[in-house]
Structure 1
């Protein structure tokens, strides 16, 4: 009789991949890479980031993106939530320094506000809540495309020296490690797109494994340079409180703002989940490029926020699924549990 792989209970609010990320951080704390090992890990991490963005480009269907443009008002609303409302709240949080947040934690929080929306999780939540799934797919995709260009540029401009600075060197790193692999993937999509589509599960493991490597390298550097001595339990608790408020504000703004703009319930569901969620998969590689040795502190707010949004949005989606409005088929995607990769 075959043995089944043990799974976590369905009621457990922590995604298994989050546990893998926590385990990676713990491993970096116990056995951080230093010396020659650190150089090897850094080189492997750089290659992993380039591979991730190459795969993003190779898997992106230009035809599907153009088809989704017909619902441009919804996509523009999501982009405004992601790249205007979020950053403004992040900048406003600067008033909490140094009383609530340290300058380093605020930089990480601001970087979180610049990261694009997730795709997989927003689609899953929209489907559970009986929203416009096809719109969520396109909105998440457009946000990810825009984020490849806007997130690094906004981070370089707003974070100053801590984010690499808006300099020729920063722009070169962005171009070589992010934009060039993405463009190469787009150019080669015609020949390798089908091959990648048939191997989604394998590529999903490559994506997640690459991100784990990026996390290990970033937190190892943080341990070696001693940045973790700058965080006290009180500061960490304050960060969680600020992020909870940030998530609550964005969920409220996206839901009621979409209503004021005249969107129907199904579109509002898609706007809320796509507009209030942030992508861990996109943010971690970008942080490793932009922050260097300070990446461990920079990605901590994003990692905490991502787990928080999964737990909160899962509850909201299930409650929205019980709304009295009639359910309409709004896309081909099927209901599934939120995915961490987005």
Structure 2
């Protein structure tokens, strides 16, 4: 049964447990942070290698689909996240409540949204390009939106924060695009190895962030009632994300394949973007607490997506 669990979920659980037992704190914090930054640099470099420039141009031609998906992901769900953050404040610790807003401003996943679109018989090509482009856009817009809606007091939005974003996220992606003609074939010829490198980089970022949360006493901050409110809030937010994305796709009069891609692209939120970006923006202790809603949401979206994809596949086209 354990083997049926998504490998990324297994790694996230392992990283969380490891941080709980052996957190990277005190003299080990700086070294762990440096390793995480290097891993995130490699992650975005590989993303730059993987997404061909021709696919980017082709995907941007479908501006109607992409613009509405971006408005849904960064606009509507950001406001939904803000609403839940305000509702949860007082029911869970303030930084955990703020994590709902952070969750709302993040882009979609690439791998899982695409995989479940394929399982459901949706338009895989548009799912891949749309998710990748939203992740590129998220590097630039997630932070300003988070700040504008009430998270500016926690985010490092000064010169140092902008420099970190450029050096750790934007620069490696740009280098990957530039060097695509030299290393792109290697990336495409070794998909399994590259996928595990991606997972390792994300897990390291989660480990470092959650180590900070453990240092801040997360297990004492969240009692049974707080965990109940947190889980209930995330289930409600997940319901809004899936239901809203499906309704918006219907309002756009998308065909079934495109509407299915919009559903998963519009409801999923990316831990691959969220964990590294949080470590760039926040100190590890703050990042770990803010990431708690995202980590649980990521698990829930995978649990919901599999049976939903099977149900959509069985429906008449």
- When the two structures are superposed, what TM-score results if normalisation uses the length of structure 1? 0.86
**Any runs of at least 4 consecutive aligned residues in structure 1 with deviations exceeding 4 A, and if so which?**
none
- Tell me if the contact between 1:77 and 1:271 (Cα under 8 Å) persists in the aligned partners: no
Residues 94 and 41 of structure 1: is their aligned pair in 2 closer, same or farther, counting only changes over 3 Å? closer
- Tell me if the contact between 2:88 and 2:233 (Cα under 8 Å) persists in the aligned partners: no
Q: Which has the larger radius of gyration?
A: 1
Partner of 2:257: 266
Counterparts in 2 of 1:256-335, with a 5 A limit?
Answer: 256-293=247-284, 294-325=286-317
Partner of 2:216: 225
2:31 is equivalent to residue 40 of structure 1: yes
* Corresponding residue to 2:68 among 77, 80, 88: 77
SS at match of 2:153: helix
Partner of 1:56: 47
Deviation at 1:307, TM superposition (A): 0.8
Count of residues paired in the alignment: 315
Partner of 1:328: none
Deviation at 1:153, TM superposition (A): 3.2
d(CA) in 2 for partners of 1:155, 1:292:
16
- 1:144-187 per-residue CA deviation (whole Å, 9 max, x = no partner) reads 121122223333444112222x3222212212221122222222
* Corresponding residue to 1:132 among 123, 126, 129: 123
Partner of 1:193: 184
What is the aligned-residue RMSD (CA, Å)?
Answer: 1.8
d(CA) in 2 for partners of 1:209, 1:190:
25
- Tell me if the contact between 2:11 and 2:199 (Cα under 8 Å) persists in the aligned partners: no
Q: Unaligned stretches of 5+ in structure 1?
A: 1-6, 326-342
Higher helix share: 2
- 1:68-113 per-residue CA deviation (whole Å, 9 max, x = no partner) reads 2332222222112211111010112243143434321121111111
Residues 94 and 218 of structure 1: is their aligned pair in 2 closer, same or farther, counting only changes over 3 Å? closer
Residues 25 and 64 of structure 1: is their aligned pair in 2 closer, same or farther, counting only changes over 3 Å? same
d(CA) in 2 for partners of 1:299, 1:97:
15
- Tell me if the contact between 1:291 and 1:298 (Cα under 8 Å) persists in the aligned partners: no
Q: Unaligned stretches of 5+ in structure 2?
A: none
Partner of 1:339: none
- When the two structures are superposed, what TM-score results if normalisation uses the length of structure 2? 0.93
Deviation at 1:202, TM superposition (A): 1.4
Deviation at 1:249, TM superposition (A): 1.0
Deviation at 1:289, TM superposition (A): 0.9
Deviation at 1:227, TM superposition (A): 4.2
- Tell me if the contact between 1:156 and 1:170 (Cα under 8 Å) persists in the aligned partners: no
Partner of 1:238: 229
